[in-house]
Amino acid sequence: MPYRLSVNGLIRVIRRPGFWFIVAVMILITIPYYGEEIVHPSFIYNIMTDLNLSRHAFERILYLAPIVWAGFLFGWRGSFITSLAALALMLPRAIAISQYPREALVETGAVFVLGNVLAISFYALRRERDNRLQLQAAHQQLQASEERYRELFENAHDAIWLHDLDGNFIAANRAAATLSGYSVEELSKMNVKSFLSEDSLRLAQQVGSRMLNNEPVEQPYEQRLLKRNGTEAIVQIASSLVLSKGNVVAFQHVARDISEQKRMQENLRYYLHEISRAQEEERKRISHELHDETVQALIALSRQLDAIASSESEMPQELRARLEKLWQQTNDIIGGVRRLSQDLRPAALDRLGLLAGLEWLASETTRYSGIETSVKVIGEQRRLPEEVELVLFRVTQEALRNVWRHSGASKSEIAIEFAGGKTRITVSDNGKGFTLPEKMGDLPRNGKLGLAGMEERARLLGGVLTIQSHPGEGTSVTIEIPEPSTTGSP
């Protein structure tokens, strides 16, 4: 391979016009150098006379021209090879023909050495010029890049600012000025602590410390900034370190104001919360009406049928059988309405709390679906706010309904854990499982409306719903709600 490269390089050199120009000059110098009969023009003789040079000494000096030119075109290697060629052309005359061989050899050696020195010098000057031109071009490109960055920085839609390790502003764009309410000039004289509450400052210090220690930081993250007019802006920030010679000198932040978006989300959560509350109130009202009115009316009808069937001793047997059948159907309807009433709003949940409601739910699931369902309690049992217990109950109810309808399981378990700062319920089964979508947001699109509703209920209370399932390995649905003291209305 190296041989091929050298051959290719030689071919490229031979194809260059400069190579043939040097060859031609060498030939034009060599012909009169050996041809005594050739007479130089008079102006050349005048030059030789003025310089006090002999003819052949002058001709030897002329060999410097192709040597230097070769160095200029092909670098020091080209000048060295050309000087060797010139040496080969000068030596025969200096040794065998010249009347003064010692002087001729000295002149030949001087031409060889001086030619290489001049060629290397010119080559170095050329390289320096090229490097200077490259530096100028790089400087121009850097200036153009800085101008483009400055333009992007100044005109960016997101707020961008830099501050040193002490929090003093170094630079800020117009969007940062708009966000804060201060001008860019005013920001340049301020410290980031002016825009942060105690909680926000603590978060900023934690993020900065983790970044300086090369620890992972989840980005972007939410931060709250105090504006000039005293209002608070909620921003989504991505932070990065600014390095100089390998040392951290500043932080850069890119922030987007999401205050309006957060307000819309909070309003949406509030509306969903009110809708859920209204639904539960309607369920409760219907449940009470079914229990207090419909069931009681059906019980009265059942007793009347029983009384009619018992009082008429001479009643035909066929009619008596029909009345007894109607009586039985009425009792079945009473049982169904009672189950519907309990399903809408279990009395145990309102009277005895979440754990009693879950135990009732497990027994009802076992009775009507045939799926053996048990309840396991972890930690010290405690009552939770009515709203929290209701959400946990509804999510568990929906999860068990999915087990009954879709899993094909023979066993399921409700595990409720009262841990420090949170309450967790896990509903697991040994059914056929299913393939989960990549994101929870894809559940409605995949037809998992029940799971999507459960996830929404959990978010209304600041909780998290997680689902684990694989085909053939069952399903596990977990809802985790924060400590009641940290759980507020949306």
pLDDT at 268: 62
Please check the confidence at residue 486 and state whether its pLDDT lies above 50. Answer: no
What is the second-level CATH architecture of the domain 157-257?
A: 2-Layer Sandwich (3.30)
What is the predicted pLDDT for the residue at 4? 42
pLDDT above 90 as % of the chain:
2
Give percent of the chain above pLDDT 70.
Answer: 84
Rounded CA-CA distance 59/262 in Å is: 90
Asked if residue 58 has pLDDT above 60, the reply is yes
- Segment 296-300 shows an average pLDDT of 82
- Of the ranges 163-177, 274-288, 372-386, 470-484, which one carries the lowest mean pLDDT score? 274-288
pLDDT tens per residue, range 113-124: 877 777 777 777
The pLDDT of residue 426? 92
Task: Among 58-67, 216-225, 283-292, 315-324, name the one with the lowest average pLDDT.
Answer: 283-292
Cα 27 from Cα 303, distance rounded (Å): 136
Q: Mean per-residue pLDDT for 106-111? A: 78
Which range of 249-253, 334-338, 419-423 scores highest in mean pLDDT? It is: 249-253
pLDDT at 312: 61
What was the pLDDT predicted at 313? 63
Provide mean pLDDT across the span 33-58.
Answer: 70
State mean pLDDT over 187-205: 87
Q: What is the pLDDT of residue 490?
A: 31
Q: What is the pTM of this model?
A: 0.45
Q: What is the mean pLDDT of residues 224-233?
A: 87
- Between these two residues, 246 and 59, which has the higher pLDDT value? 246
Mean pLDDT of 357-382: 86
Return the pLDDT at 45. 66
Dihedral sign for Cα 399, 400, 404, 410, please.
Answer: positive
β-sheet bridge partners, residue 469: 475
pLDDT classification of 63: cutoffs 50, 70, 90: confident
CB 404 within 8 A of CB 454: no
Average pLDDT, the chain: 79
pLDDT recorded at residue 485: 46
Q: Domain-by-domain residue ranges, the chain?
A: 2-140, 157-257, 259-345, 355-490
Amino acid at 486: T
Q: How confident is the model at residue 20 (pLDDT cuts 50, 70, 90)?
A: confident
Do the beta carbons of residue 235 and residue 251 sit within 8 Å?
no
Q: What pLDDT shows up at residue 487?
A: 37
- Could you please state the CATH topology (level 3) that the domain comprising 355-490 is classified under: Heat Shock Protein 90 (3.30.565)
Is pLDDT above 80 for 1?
Answer: no
Range in 327-341, 379-393, 446-460 the model is least confident about: 446-460
Q: Which of 108, 153, 387 is nearest to 252 (CA)?
A: 153
The structure tokens 């169904």 sit at: 336
Q: What is the pLDDT of residue 3?
A: 38
Query: Averaged over 358-380, what is the pLDDT?
Result: 87
Q: What is the pLDDT of residue 473?
A: 84
Instruction: Average the pLDDT over 101-118 and give the result.
Output: 78
Q: What is the mean pLDDT of residues 417-434?
A: 87
Which residue's entry shows tokens 């909620």?
Answer: 234
The pLDDT of 387-407, averaged and rounded, is 84
- CA–CA separation, 413 and 369 (whole Å): 14
Q: Please, which pLDDT band fits residue 415 given cuts at 50, 70 and 90?
A: very high
How is residue 243 written in tokens? 């390095």
pLDDT on residue 489: 33
DSSP assignment of 419-433 equals ETTEEEEEEEE-S--
> Residue 416 forms beta bridges with which residues?
377, 425
- The residues, ordered by sequence, that sit 6+ positions from 378 with a Cβ below 8 Å of its Cβ are 415, 416, 417, 418, 419
Residue 2 reports pLDDT greater than 60:
no
pLDDT at 390: 80
**Average pLDDT score over residue span 471-488:** 74
